[in-house]
Structure 1
Amino acid sequence: MKIYTKSGDKGTTSLVYGERVGKNDPRVEAYGTCDEANSMIGLGLSHLQEPQREWKVEFEKNVRKVQTVLFHVGAELATPAGKKVGWTLEESDITYLEQAIDRWDKELKPLKQFVLPGGSAAASVFHVARTVVRRAERQAVAIENVNPLVLSYLNRLSDFLFVAARYLNQKMNVAEPILHDEE
């Protein structure tokens, strides 16, 4: 299979099932942003230079599962309304995010002020991924008849990435940057 097809050279691309749309179509914007978020999550994982510890193995396992579901969300967004999606997004996918958030949050110090994005390189990239997911969510809202589970998943995923960044900073013994108001 060739990597390049030349079919997009004039500014269009195919959705699932072959419907051609402009590369600036809301569906393309949304699934492309999901792909961007997924790439950022992968970059964040690549910054985990910690030795193989139990928490790291479990963290990576959780995040890889989330990356797979995010890929499925992109496929859902790339499928025209009224067509069957190859994968089914389910409530259990959202529950999985919530359970991870709750599990990690139990180990974190309670938030008493705003946390600024940053800390370790890995956590910083997870913060960037969080903002990219927020953009994907805003773009998905603009799609007519979008699966409501897609919106819920993206909303919860940004929370997951925020807590993941905090969790990484704590596990890597890196202080979280906090908001300092001028006096």
Structure 2
Amino acid sequence: MVRLTRIYTRTGDKGKTSLGDGARVDKHALRVEAYGTVDEANAVLGLARLHAEAGEHAILARIQNDLFDLGADLCTPPAGDEQPGTRLRVVQSQVDRLEAEIDAANAKLAPLESFILPAGTPLAAHLHHARTVVRRAERLITALAGREPVNPVAVAYVNRLSDLLFVLARAANAGGAADVLWTPGANR
């Protein structure tokens, strides 16, 4: 367990931060940008939870915890000789759980007949916001993976998570009945 006795350390005052393996990098490094964006998504999910009912609240609470796992995974670059279980990494069972939750929630929704706008209930709007932040995190993580080692399961996790948030947003809009549909060219 992490124990924080002091919040400020002054070690980042010159634009550097420490990764989980102790390496010092620029605060604007792609790896830091990736896990910082995961943190941003987590904060948006905290807002969504303010509007969630018990079942949704439990799913979002699990996801928020997973996002801390993902941040820990991303902040510690995989080592070539790393033994399984020596570092906190996102694992396939977390991706599998997201897929099961997507399937369960989507089974209750009417098929899409149009693209939908990120709107509706307060919960749906926050979930759509979180989805877009997760998509940005995914773009950053895949860019990072093109340059440095990244746990491939982390990429799969954020990809599935954005899908789940989309389905949960539709569910929050009266099972999709209150989705706000896009009308192409409506304001020409």
Instruction: Give the TM-score taking structure 1 as reference length.
Output: 0.89
Aligned-CA RMSD value: 1.7
Which residue does 1:177 correspond to in 2? 180
Distance apart, 1:86 and its partner CA: 3.4
Matched, 1:125 2:126: yes
Aligned equivalents of 2:28, 2:34: Cα separation in 1: 10
Q: What is the identity, as a one-letter code, of the residue corresponding to 2:120? A: G
Which residue does 1:69 correspond to in 2? 66
Q: Is the 8 A contact 1:12 1:22 kept in 2?
A: yes
Aligned equivalents of 2:28, 2:78: Cα separation in 1: 17
Aligned equivalents of 1:151, 1:9: Cα separation in 2: 31
Partner SS for 1:142:
helix
Aligned equivalents of 1:22, 1:150: Cα separation in 2: 22
Q: Is the 8 A contact 1:108 1:170 kept in 2?
A: no
Aligned equivalents of 1:101, 1:182: Cα separation in 2: 31
Q: What is the identity, as a one-letter code, of the residue corresponding to 1:35? A: D
Instruction: Give the TM-score taking structure 2 as reference length.
Output: 0.87
Aligned equivalents of 1:34, 1:157: Cα separation in 2: 11
Q: Is the 8 A contact 1:119 1:174 kept in 2?
A: no
Which residue does 1:14 correspond to in 2? 18
Aligned equivalents of 1:11, 1:145: Cα separation in 2: 23
Q: Is the 8 A contact 2:77 2:149 kept in 1?
A: no
Q: Is the 8 A contact 1:12 1:20 kept in 2?
A: yes
Distance apart, 1:145 and its partner CA: 1.5
Q: Is the 8 A contact 2:77 2:150 kept in 1?
A: no
CA deviations on 1:112-158 (whole Å, 9 max, x unpaired) are 11011000111101101101111111111122121110110010100
1:155 to 152, 159, 163: 159
Q: What is the identity, as a one-letter code, of the residue corresponding to 1:168? A: A
Aligned equivalents of 1:135, 1:4: Cα separation in 2: 28
Identity across matched positions, percent: 45
Which residue does 1:53 correspond to in 2? none
Which residue does 2:139 correspond to in 1? 138
2:168 to 164, 167, 173: 164
* 4+ residue segments displaced more than 6 Å: none
Which residue does 2:106 correspond to in 1? 105
Which residue does 1:52 correspond to in 2? none
Name the CA shift for 1:25/1:75 in 2 (closer, same or farther; >3 Å): same
Distance apart, 1:80 and its partner CA: 2.5
1:41 to 40, 45, 52: 45
